[in-house]
Amino acid sequence: MSIFYSASTGGFYDDAIHGEDARPVDVVDIDEQTYRALLDGQSAGQLISAGVDGRPILTARPGPTLEQSCADLKASVQIRLDEAAQAAGYDDIKSAVSYADEPAVPQYQADGVRLRAWRSRVWAFALPVINRVAAGELTPEAAAEQLVELPAIDATSPTET
């Protein structure tokens, strides 16, 4: 049995399955040990791609783009906001803050005011950090460490100013 790799298709071909007419013209013969090593690397998260000579090599997966890193950081902040609102008995932060202007149930209004003010403090802290990532001034990892220190929710129900 012979195994072949094609740089043009990025695929493997087994001569027991793919006759010579079914294989691309750029195939190169690879040994069983190389084939298994490539599959093991792919299972571990690496990419199989063609080297300069057309032979398959393992490469690291590219990391997220700067835009994706910033989106991920924003999503992590949003999750923290939503989890805090859920811990207080609301569906999410949007639901909780919708009560801020509703006087029918004083406790819900107080929670809404408190959580709305906290949400503003959180984003006032988080967005400059995330913007520094977008500007290339801070790594996403360093930003994530800073975002661990988001402002805490006030235990009381102060009125907004």
Percent of the chain with pLDDT over 90: 89
Q: How far apart are CA 65 and CA 63, in angstroms?
A: 6
Instruction: Compute the Cα dihedral for 125, 127, 129, 132 and give only its sign.
Output: negative
Query: Quick check: helix, strand or coil at residue 76?
Result: helix
Identity of the amino acid at 98: S
Question: pLDDT band at 69, cuts 50/70/90?
Answer: very high
Query: Quick check: helix, strand or coil at residue 107?
Result: helix
Task: Please write the tens of the pLDDT for every residue from 92-141.
Answer: 999 999 999 999 999 999 999 999 999 999 999 999 999 999 999 999 99
Per the CB < 8 A criterion, the answer to whether 54 and 48 are in contact is no
Percent of the chain with pLDDT over 70: 96
Provide long-range contacts, Cβ within 8 A and 24+ apart, for 55-63.
Answer: 55/5, 55/28, 55/30, 56/5, 56/7, 56/28, 56/30
Report the predicted TM-score, pTM, of the whole model to 2 decimal places: 0.65
Residue 159 in this model has a pLDDT that exceeds 80: no
Higher pLDDT, 83 or 63: 83
Per the CB < 8 A criterion, the answer to whether 140 and 73 are in contact is yes
Q: Where are the beta strands (DSSP E) in the chain?
A: 3-6, 11-14, 27-30, 47-50, 56-59
Quote the mean pLDDT of the chain: 93
